[in-house]
A and B are shown apart, each in its own frame.
Chain A
Amino acid sequence: MTRAEVREAGAPATGEVPWRRLDPRTALASGALTLGVGVAGGVPTVAGFAARGSGATALVAGIVVGAVVALVGVVVGAEKVRLARTRFRVGLERVELHSGILVRTRRSLPRERIRSVDVHADPVARVLGLATLRVDTARRASVADRPLELRCVRREEAEALRSELLVRRRDDETAGTGLLAALDPRWTRYAPLSFLTPALGAAAAGAVMQVAQWVGLESTVVDAVVAGWRRLGTLGTVAVGLTAVLVVGAVASVAAFVEAWWSYRLEREPSGTLRVRRGLLTTRSTTLEERRLRGVALVEPLGVRTAGAARVDAVATGLATAGGEERTDAAGLLPAAPRELAERVAAAVLREPVSPTRAAVMRTHPVAARGRRVRWATAGALVPALVLAALGAVVAGPFLVAAAAVAVAGLVAGPLLGRAAYRALGHAVHEAYVVVRGGLVRRRTVVLRRDGVIGWSVRQSWFQRRVGLATLWLTTAAGDQAYAVRDVAAADAPGFAAEVVGDVVRPFLTERHSTIG
């Protein structure tokens, strides 16, 4: 308590800026959300009892309604107390937030360190004209640097705060401002190709079983599947089941895409910021200062790549950091879109005429790198074969047949996958950027400003040393914090590092290298 007050007293005076409060209707919004969750959970419960024809249905319904009402009451009450105990103000130099019901926290953020301001609103908040404002700083050295959140304020107030907190350098060059990209509904066709499709399909199948169990109908579902299996045979059942899972998953991933990216717009604002606005039900707005931008990443997951599309992510400081699990979506500048357009957007974001992903001449990696990848892919494919063979030896013969089939498939597919992974590798220095490409399932081309590289390391495992390879890591304050150039020739790794960040490498090169250049 006393320490917090000392810190507050120690902070520079913010003048006579009055304290402000969050919008009181936040309590209403939280109550409505809780009610929604309660109804969503309560209705199946009551329906389950009703389906079993239990005489206690009325009693259960009464208990559920009572519990939901009590829960909503508690949430609204707690929110009212929280709102009454929360105040904030935006001074000339600092943003301050005092909050906490039992333990008071007083946070004070220097405005010059603010790097991004997000505004988002869930459907309930939108109906009430409210929005949540999140203010983030560049450094994330400790928990004290976590984003500062105002939940909720009026939407107009959130907008005003957003522009107020980020407008600083009016003299910044205004060239290239305006709309950089907007949603083309045709991009929806890439959504089913994402890895979400099988995941959501499987989740839906699981959810059906779960709900059936709640309602006491799981035996009906199992009987239906067994009846289908009798009629269609094993292969037919598997085919129908997979198709159903994929179709449901595709519909779900299209829905997820539309919800997340509807009315998407990427704009450059005169204050030197990039702004992404998107969302159908929950609207999100992410603003990031170009000053924080160290580069972009062109991401091509397998399915999306086969359709000739790519996604663009920002590589910026203060977004997702190691351990900053909460904001993985904040870096998205463009959803999966035709690759040519993705490269145009990347170029526009970097203020370059042509995207370095296109202009850079990528260098290939030594053949030894291909050997390693082929060995990994083949070994990876043979592990399930070995497991199946062990099962066959211990449990039943048919597993041995499956093991043989998997082994043959692995021996054919392994080298192909390994070669594909090798072809994905590439690195280059192009003007002010370093370009690094790699990844089989999720190919990614990272374009990083060379002045954003703040260190390097060369790592060599015993296996790499045997075949004359090494991995170069370029460390940066942005994005993943370090990007790897995997399996380059050991002798070339430091030389390439020197091309990227000359002065931090050159004094440490061996004589032979320094004479070459």
Chain B
Amino acid sequence: MVITEPSRDEVGLRPPTHPLPPRVRTWWRIHALGWPGAAVVVLLVLAWLIAPAAAWLGLAAGVVAAVGLVVGLALPAYWYRVHRWEVTDEAVYTRSGYAWQEWRAAPLSRVQTVDPTRGPLQRRLGLATLVVTTASAKGAVTVAGLAGDEADALAHRLTRETRAVPGDAT
């Protein structure tokens, strides 16, 4: 009994079986470095234009750059361990989270649409985001950063398997 008592601190859910393709880290890194990078450029240009505030703007640029570097270099490896997905015969199951961790599942019998989408950067990296919606506006299960061909194959399979379900799945 003592052995089976779960730790109070852990969510009693096992991780989904599949990791995302390793190159998803590149995608995250570009995002995590790109936005602070753009902000730094703007701040430096402002510092160059507005001489009286140059010191402050330069300092702000330095802080943004430092935080951006730390986040962009350190966190993708952590996110890579967190983000996982799985599709069983009955459900879609994901674990995700950048600041929050989230485990999410939707039964296939309630799935309404399955759509792979690709942003320009994702297309370059051969990645895709699979959005599985249910009749609940807040019930969509999203897997961001799947390998493109895998996302297409999954979309195909899920569409086929869920088409057979009658009714409007509410």
The contact of B136 among A459, A481, A511, by CB within 8 Å, is A481
Cβ contacts under 8 Å, B112 to chain A: 141
Could you tell me the distance between the alpha carbons of A460 and B169 in the complex, rounded to whole angstroms?
28
Structural contact, B136 and A491, CB atoms closer than 8 A: no
Listed stretches B8-16, B116-124, B148-156; interface member: B8-16
Chain B CB within 10 Å, residue with most, of A456, A460, A476, A504: A504
Structural contact, B105 and A508, CB atoms closer than 8 A: yes
Structural contact, A113 and B104, CB atoms closer than 8 A: no
Cβ contacts under 8 Å, A493 to chain B: 11-12
Cβ contacts under 8 Å, A113 to chain B: 168
Could you tell me the distance between the alpha carbons of A139 and B134 in the complex, rounded to whole angstroms?
11
Structural contact, A491 and B141, CB atoms closer than 8 A: no
Cβ contacts under 8 Å, A321 to chain B: 137
The contact of B102 among A457, A481, A507, by CB within 8 Å, is A457
Structural contact, B168 and A490, CB atoms closer than 8 A: no
Could you tell me the distance between the alpha carbons of A321 and B135 in the complex, rounded to whole angstroms?
11
A317-B104 in contact given A454-B135, A503-B90 (Cβ < 8 Å) = no
Listed stretches A201-209, A301-309, A465-473; interface member: A465-473
Structural contact, B137 and A481, CB atoms closer than 8 A: yes
Structural contact, A457 and B11, CB atoms closer than 8 A: no
CB distance from A445 to the nearest CB of B (A): 20
Could you tell me the distance between the alpha carbons of A455 and B142 in the complex, rounded to whole angstroms?
13
Number of interface residues of B (CB under 8 A): 39
Structural contact, B138 and A490, CB atoms closer than 8 A: no
Is the CB of A515 closer than 8 A to any CB of chain B?
yes
Cβ contacts under 8 Å, B6 to chain A: 491, 510, 512-513, 516
Chain A, range 468-490, C-beta contacts under 8 Å to B: 468, 470, 473, 475-478, 480-482, 489-490
Cβ contacts under 8 Å, B135 to chain A: 139, 317, 454, 477
Q: Which residue of A lies closest to B92 (CB)?
A: A455
Is the CB of A438 closer than 8 A to any CB of chain B?
no
Structural contact, A454 and B105, CB atoms closer than 8 A: no
Contact with B along A295-330 (1 / 0, CB 8 A): 000000000000000000000010001110000000
Structural contact, A138 and B168, CB atoms closer than 8 A: yes
CB distance from A138 to the nearest CB of B (A): 6
Structural contact, B168 and A139, CB atoms closer than 8 A: yes
CB distance from A329 to the nearest CB of B (A): 20
Chain A, range 406-462, C-beta contacts under 8 Å to B: 454-462
Cβ contacts under 8 Å, B9 to chain A: 465, 468, 490-491
Listed stretches B18-26, B31-39, B44-52, B93-101; interface member: B93-101
The contact of A504 among B4, B91, B168, by CB within 8 Å, is B91
Structural contact, A512 and B104, CB atoms closer than 8 A: no
Cβ contacts under 8 Å, A292 to chain B: 170
Contact with B along A491-517 (1 / 0, CB 8 A): 111110000010111011111110110
Is the CB of B110 closer than 8 A to any CB of chain A?
yes
Is the CB of B62 closer than 8 A to any CB of chain A?
no
Could you tell me the distance between the alpha carbons of A22 and B163 in the complex, rounded to whole angstroms?
40
Structural contact, A516 and B4, CB atoms closer than 8 A: yes
Cβ contacts under 8 Å, A489 to chain B: 8
Q: Which residue of B lies closest to A464 (CB)?
A: B100
Could you tell me the distance between the alpha carbons of A454 and B5 in the complex, rounded to whole angstroms?
29
Q: Which residue of A lies closest to B88 (CB)?
A: A507
A482-B138 in contact given A317-B170, A455-B106 (Cβ < 8 Å) = yes
The contact of B107 among A458, A459, A503, A512, by CB within 8 Å, is A503
Q: Which residues of A contact B (CB under 8 A)?
A: 113, 138-141, 292, 317, 321-323, 454-462, 465, 468, 470, 473, 475-478, 480-482, 489-495, 501, 503-505, 507-513, 515-516
Q: Would you list the 5 A-B pairs with minimal beta carbon distance, nearest first?
A: A475-B139, A477-B135, A477-B170, A482-B138, A455-B106
28 cross-chain CB contacts under 8 A: A138-B168, A139-B168, A139-B170, A317-B170, A454-B106, A454-B107, A454-B134, A454-B170, A455-B139, A457-B104, A460-B11, A465-B101, A475-B136, A480-B138, A481-B137, A482-B136, A489-B8, A490-B10, A491-B7, A491-B9, A491-B10, A495-B12, A508-B13, A509-B14, A510-B6, A512-B6, A512-B12, A516-B6
Instruction: List 14 additional contacts besides A457-B103, A459-B100, A482-B138; criterion CB under 8 Å.
Output: A454-B107, A454-B139, A455-B106, A455-B107, A458-B102, A458-B103, A458-B104, A460-B100, A473-B138, A475-B138, A491-B6, A494-B12, A501-B107, A511-B14
